[in-house]
Amino acid sequence: MSARRRTPLVCPICGTDLANVRITPLGQVTAGLQWEMHAGRCSEHGWFQTEMISKPPREIFPVSRPGGVARKMSIGGRPVYSFPTVWDSIGGRRPVDPYDPEMWAVDWERMPGREDIVLSNT
Ligand SMILES: [Zn+2]
């Protein structure tokens, strides 16, 4: 199985393609699919990371760097350390392509709203 170079992961905030994409095998396999960590950087909003463990990710994390610690973002005055995905919202009720970009999208109906985002490095 060759390593993927492209990721369905986009910036959770502005939706643009990420630069410096890194896809790292996590060393486990489920149903013939290698588990992977996907990370990439938005020039405006920083690094984001998530794990594909044979299904689309449930959450996308803002991080200080690939494999680094979670970074706090502030949305509507509340600290946010992760973004729930559409896949998490549908709760695995149907089989999907684990790389389906629609499943990797942030479910903003469960978030206060991207217009309230305040970037923070703390
Ligand atoms: Zn962005």
Which residue segment(s) compose the domain that 31 sits in?
19-118
Tell whether 74 is covered by a domain: yes
The neighbouring-strand residues paired with 60 are 83
Q: What confidence score (pLDDT) does residue 6 get?
A: 86
Domain assignment present for 10: no
Q: Is residue 14 part of a domain?
A: no
Task: Tell me the CA–centroid distance for residue 48 and ligand 1, in Å.
Answer: 9
Does residue 1 form part of some domain? no
| pTM, rounded to two decimals | 0.86
- Does residue 2 lie within any of the structural domains? no
Q: Is the pLDDT of residue 120 over 50?
A: yes
Residue 93 inside a domain? The answer is yes
Tell me whether residue 3 is in a domain: no
Dist. CA 96–CA 91, nearest whole Å: 11
The pLDDT tens digits of the residues spanning 92-118 come to 777 889 999 999 999 988 887 666 766
Q: What is the pLDDT of residues 5-59, one digit of tens each?
A: 789 999 998 999 999 999 999 999 988 888 999 999 999 999 999 999 989 999 9
The count of structural domains within the chain is 1
Q: Ligand 1 mean position to 10 CA, how many Å?
A: 8
Residue 17 C-alpha to ligand 1 middle, in angstroms? 8
Confidence at residue 87, expressed as pLDDT on a 0 to 100 scale? 94
Ligand 1 mean position, distance from CA 3 (Å): 25
- Interior CA angle at 120 toward 15 and 20, to 5°? 45
Q: How many angstroms separate the alpha carbon of residue 16 from the centre of ligand 1?
A: 6
Strand ordering across the sheet containing 73-75: 78-80, 73-75, 117-118
Would you state the pLDDT for residue 4? 64
